[in-house]
Amino acid sequence: SGKPKLTYFNGRGRMESVRWLLAAAGVEFEEEFLETSEQYQKLIKDGALLFDQVPLVEIDGMKMVQTRAILSYIAAKCNLYGKDPKERAFIDMYVEGTADLMGMIITFPFTPPQKRNLALIIERATTRYFPVYEKVLKQHGQDFLVGNQFSWADVQLLEAILMVEEKEPTVLSNFPVLQAFKARISNIPTIKKFLQLGSQRKPPPNDQYVATVIEVLKK
Ligand SMILES: N[C@@H](CCC(=O)N[C@@H](CS(=O)(=O)O)C(=O)NCC(=O)O)C(=O)O
Protein backbone atom coordinates (compact mmCIF):
# COMPACT_ATOMS: atom_id res chain seq x y z
CA SER A 1 0.00 0.00 0.00
CA GLY A 2 3.03 2.26 0.24
CA LYS A 3 1.90 3.52 3.64
CA PRO A 4 4.31 3.11 6.57
CA LYS A 5 3.39 0.13 8.77
CA LEU A 6 3.79 0.43 12.53
CA THR A 7 4.15 -2.77 14.59
CA TYR A 8 3.68 -2.33 18.33
CA PHE A 9 1.23 -2.96 21.13
CA ASN A 10 -2.23 -1.41 20.91
CA GLY A 11 -1.27 1.48 23.17
CA ARG A 12 1.03 4.49 23.52
CA GLY A 13 4.40 3.35 24.86
CA ARG A 14 7.36 4.36 22.76
CA MET A 15 5.38 4.29 19.51
CA GLU A 16 3.00 7.14 20.35
CA SER A 17 5.52 9.85 19.37
CA VAL A 18 5.87 8.15 15.98
CA ARG A 19 2.07 8.23 15.52
CA TRP A 20 2.06 11.94 16.46
CA LEU A 21 4.83 12.84 14.02
CA LEU A 22 3.36 10.93 11.08
CA ALA A 23 -0.09 12.38 11.79
CA ALA A 24 1.31 15.92 12.09
CA ALA A 25 3.07 15.43 8.75
CA GLY A 26 -0.20 14.25 7.20
CA VAL A 27 1.25 10.80 6.46
CA GLU A 28 -1.29 7.99 6.69
CA PHE A 29 -0.04 4.79 8.30
CA GLU A 30 -1.14 1.25 9.02
CA GLU A 31 -0.73 -0.58 12.32
CA GLU A 32 -0.18 -4.18 13.39
CA PHE A 33 -0.91 -4.73 17.09
CA LEU A 34 1.11 -7.25 19.07
CA GLU A 35 -1.27 -9.25 21.25
CA THR A 36 0.55 -12.59 21.64
CA SER A 37 4.09 -13.75 22.29
CA GLU A 38 3.80 -15.92 19.18
CA GLN A 39 3.52 -12.76 17.04
CA TYR A 40 6.59 -11.28 18.71
CA GLN A 41 8.62 -14.51 18.43
CA LYS A 42 7.70 -14.78 14.74
CA LEU A 43 8.98 -11.25 14.10
CA ILE A 44 12.25 -12.22 15.74
CA LYS A 45 12.47 -15.47 13.81
CA ASP A 46 11.79 -13.62 10.56
CA GLY A 47 14.67 -11.27 11.40
CA ALA A 48 12.42 -8.20 11.43
CA LEU A 49 13.67 -6.85 14.78
CA LEU A 50 17.34 -5.83 14.70
CA PHE A 51 17.60 -5.92 18.50
CA ASP A 52 14.60 -8.17 19.21
CA GLN A 53 12.70 -5.04 20.19
CA VAL A 54 9.69 -2.98 19.06
CA PRO A 55 8.75 -0.29 17.90
CA LEU A 56 9.12 -1.54 14.36
CA VAL A 57 8.25 0.83 11.51
CA GLU A 58 8.35 -0.47 7.94
CA ILE A 59 8.88 2.59 5.79
CA ASP A 60 10.40 3.20 2.33
CA GLY A 61 11.51 -0.41 2.06
CA MET A 62 13.23 -0.38 5.44
CA LYS A 63 12.37 -2.26 8.62
CA MET A 64 13.28 0.46 11.08
CA VAL A 65 13.70 -0.06 14.82
CA GLN A 66 15.01 2.30 17.56
CA THR A 67 12.47 5.01 18.24
CA ARG A 68 14.84 7.98 17.90
CA ALA A 69 16.14 6.73 14.57
CA ILE A 70 12.59 6.28 13.31
CA LEU A 71 11.52 9.74 14.44
CA SER A 72 14.62 11.42 12.99
CA TYR A 73 14.08 9.74 9.64
CA ILE A 74 10.43 10.82 9.49
CA ALA A 75 11.27 14.38 10.60
CA ALA A 76 13.99 14.68 7.94
CA LYS A 77 11.82 13.19 5.22
CA CYS A 78 8.81 15.39 6.06
CA ASN A 79 10.76 18.64 6.35
CA LEU A 80 10.13 18.87 10.08
CA TYR A 81 13.81 18.96 11.01
CA GLY A 82 14.78 22.63 10.45
CA LYS A 83 16.73 24.17 7.59
CA ASP A 84 20.35 23.57 8.65
CA PRO A 85 22.53 21.66 11.18
CA LYS A 86 22.18 24.34 13.85
CA GLU A 87 18.38 24.35 13.70
CA ARG A 88 18.50 20.56 13.73
CA ALA A 89 20.73 20.71 16.83
CA PHE A 90 18.14 22.81 18.67
CA ILE A 91 15.32 20.54 17.53
CA ASP A 92 17.31 17.55 18.87
CA MET A 93 17.87 19.26 22.23
CA TYR A 94 14.20 20.19 22.63
CA VAL A 95 13.06 16.73 21.48
CA GLU A 96 15.38 14.95 23.90
CA GLY A 97 13.99 17.11 26.70
CA THR A 98 10.38 16.27 25.98
CA ALA A 99 11.38 12.61 25.45
CA ASP A 100 12.98 12.52 28.91
CA LEU A 101 9.85 14.04 30.44
CA MET A 102 7.53 11.67 28.59
CA GLY A 103 9.81 8.75 29.44
CA MET A 104 8.97 9.31 33.11
CA ILE A 105 5.28 8.98 32.26
CA ILE A 106 5.70 6.02 29.88
CA THR A 107 7.46 3.94 32.54
CA PHE A 108 5.02 4.98 35.28
CA PRO A 109 2.46 2.15 34.80
CA PHE A 110 5.29 -0.42 34.73
CA THR A 111 6.69 0.83 38.04
CA PRO A 112 5.58 -0.99 41.20
CA PRO A 113 2.86 1.17 42.82
CA GLN A 114 4.87 1.86 45.98
CA LYS A 115 7.77 3.17 43.86
CA ARG A 116 5.66 5.44 41.63
CA ASN A 117 6.43 9.12 42.17
CA LEU A 118 3.88 11.28 40.35
CA ALA A 119 4.93 14.35 42.37
CA LEU A 120 8.43 14.07 40.89
CA ILE A 121 7.03 13.97 37.35
CA ILE A 122 4.98 17.11 37.97
CA GLU A 123 7.92 18.80 39.71
CA ARG A 124 10.26 18.03 36.78
CA ALA A 125 7.65 19.21 34.30
CA THR A 126 7.05 22.50 36.07
CA THR A 127 10.60 23.30 37.24
CA ARG A 128 12.96 21.69 34.72
CA TYR A 129 11.18 21.28 31.38
CA PHE A 130 8.21 23.63 30.87
CA PRO A 131 10.14 26.75 32.04
CA VAL A 132 12.67 26.07 29.27
CA TYR A 133 10.08 25.90 26.50
CA GLU A 134 8.17 28.89 27.92
CA LYS A 135 11.38 30.96 27.85
CA VAL A 136 12.43 29.77 24.38
CA LEU A 137 9.05 30.65 22.90
CA LYS A 138 8.97 34.00 24.70
CA GLN A 139 12.52 34.98 23.67
CA HIS A 140 12.14 33.59 20.18
CA GLY A 141 8.95 35.56 19.80
CA GLN A 142 7.75 33.23 17.08
CA ASP A 143 4.95 30.74 16.76
CA PHE A 144 7.36 27.80 16.77
CA LEU A 145 10.30 26.63 18.87
CA VAL A 146 12.94 26.66 16.11
CA GLY A 147 13.49 28.97 13.17
CA ASN A 148 10.09 30.24 12.16
CA GLN A 149 8.74 26.97 10.94
CA PHE A 150 6.77 24.08 12.36
CA SER A 151 9.07 21.21 13.36
CA TRP A 152 9.30 17.88 15.16
CA ALA A 153 10.14 19.80 18.34
CA ASP A 154 6.74 21.53 18.30
CA VAL A 155 4.88 18.26 17.73
CA GLN A 156 6.62 16.49 20.61
CA LEU A 157 6.20 19.45 22.98
CA LEU A 158 2.44 19.43 22.42
CA GLU A 159 2.38 15.65 22.94
CA ALA A 160 4.28 16.08 26.21
CA ILE A 161 2.04 18.93 27.42
CA LEU A 162 -1.10 16.84 26.86
CA MET A 163 0.43 13.81 28.58
CA VAL A 164 1.37 15.80 31.67
CA GLU A 165 -2.03 17.51 31.74
CA GLU A 166 -3.63 14.05 31.84
CA LYS A 167 -1.78 13.56 35.14
CA GLU A 168 -2.23 17.13 36.43
CA PRO A 169 -4.72 19.36 34.51
CA THR A 170 -3.48 22.62 36.09
CA VAL A 171 0.16 22.05 35.13
CA LEU A 172 0.25 24.95 32.64
CA SER A 173 -1.29 27.48 35.05
CA ASN A 174 2.00 29.39 35.36
CA PHE A 175 2.96 29.08 31.69
CA PRO A 176 0.81 31.47 29.61
CA VAL A 177 3.05 31.24 26.56
CA LEU A 178 2.79 27.44 26.60
CA GLN A 179 -0.99 27.76 26.93
CA ALA A 180 -1.06 29.85 23.75
CA PHE A 181 1.37 27.42 22.07
CA LYS A 182 -0.88 24.47 22.97
CA ALA A 183 -3.94 26.18 21.47
CA ARG A 184 -2.09 27.24 18.33
CA ILE A 185 -0.40 23.90 17.57
CA SER A 186 -3.57 21.93 18.43
CA ASN A 187 -5.31 23.91 15.70
CA ILE A 188 -2.93 22.92 12.94
CA PRO A 189 -5.31 20.93 10.70
CA THR A 190 -3.36 17.65 10.70
CA ILE A 191 -2.96 17.76 14.49
CA LYS A 192 -6.54 18.89 15.04
CA LYS A 193 -7.64 15.79 13.12
CA PHE A 194 -5.33 13.52 15.17
CA LEU A 195 -6.82 14.93 18.37
CA GLN A 196 -10.35 14.06 17.33
CA LEU A 197 -12.03 10.85 18.46
CA GLY A 198 -11.61 7.98 16.05
CA SER A 199 -8.03 8.87 15.08
CA GLN A 200 -5.12 6.47 15.55
CA ARG A 201 -4.07 8.30 18.73
CA LYS A 202 -3.98 5.87 21.63
CA PRO A 203 -5.56 6.30 25.10
CA PRO A 204 -3.49 6.44 28.30
CA PRO A 205 -2.22 2.98 29.34
CA ASN A 206 -4.44 0.84 31.55
CA ASP A 207 -3.84 -2.42 33.41
CA GLN A 208 -4.78 -4.44 30.34
CA TYR A 209 -2.14 -2.67 28.27
CA VAL A 210 0.55 -3.39 30.88
CA ALA A 211 -0.52 -7.04 31.11
CA THR A 212 -0.43 -7.40 27.31
CA VAL A 213 3.09 -5.96 27.05
CA ILE A 214 4.34 -8.32 29.76
CA GLU A 215 2.56 -11.29 28.16
CA VAL A 216 3.86 -10.57 24.65
CA LEU A 217 7.45 -10.00 25.75
CA LYS A 218 7.72 -12.98 28.06
CA LYS A 219 10.59 -15.19 27.01
N1 LIG B 1 15.94 1.86 22.49
C2 LIG B 1 14.80 1.11 22.00
C3 LIG B 1 14.12 0.42 23.16
C4 LIG B 1 12.94 -0.39 22.71
C5 LIG B 1 12.37 -1.27 23.79
O6 LIG B 1 12.94 -1.42 24.90
N7 LIG B 1 11.24 -1.89 23.47
C8 LIG B 1 10.63 -2.86 24.36
C9 LIG B 1 9.11 -2.72 24.30
S10 LIG B 1 8.57 -1.22 25.00
O11 LIG B 1 9.46 -0.89 26.13
O12 LIG B 1 8.66 -0.19 23.94
O13 LIG B 1 7.18 -1.41 25.41
C14 LIG B 1 11.01 -4.23 23.89
O15 LIG B 1 10.82 -4.57 22.73
N16 LIG B 1 11.51 -5.04 24.84
C17 LIG B 1 11.86 -6.41 24.52
C18 LIG B 1 13.30 -6.65 24.83
O19 LIG B 1 14.02 -5.65 25.08
O20 LIG B 1 13.71 -7.83 24.84
C21 LIG B 1 13.84 2.08 21.28
O22 LIG B 1 13.87 3.26 21.60
O23 LIG B 1 13.11 1.67 20.37
Picking from 212, 219, 185, the residue whose alpha carbon sits closest to that of residue 34 is: 212
Report the distance separating Cα 152 and Cα 92, nearest Å. 9
Q: pLDDT value at position 1?
A: 67
Return all residues near 132 (Cβ < 8 A) that are at least 6 apart.
97
**pLDDT > 70? residue 174:** yes
Give the β-pairing of 62-65 and 5-8. unpaired
Summarised one tens digit per residue, pLDDT across range 46-76 is 999 999 999 999 999 999 999 999 999 999 9
pTM: 0.98
The DSSP 8-state label assigned to residue 30 in this structure reads: E
The closest-lying atom of ligand 1 relative to the alpha carbon of residue 15 is 12
Peptide bond into 55 cis (omega under 30): yes
Quote the ligand 1 centre to 173 CA distance (angstroms). Answer: 34
**pLDDT > 70? residue 219:** yes
**pLDDT > 80? residue 142:** no
**pLDDT > 70? residue 7:** yes
38 lines ligand 1 (CB under 6 A): no
Quote the ligand 1 centre to 53 CA distance (angstroms). Answer: 5
Ligand 1, from 40, 53, 214: best to mutate by most atoms within 8 Å of Cβ?
53
Question: Residue 32 pairs with which residues in a beta bridge?
Answer: 7
Residues 133-150, mean pLDDT to the nearest whole number: 93
Nearest CA to ligand 1 atom 19: 53
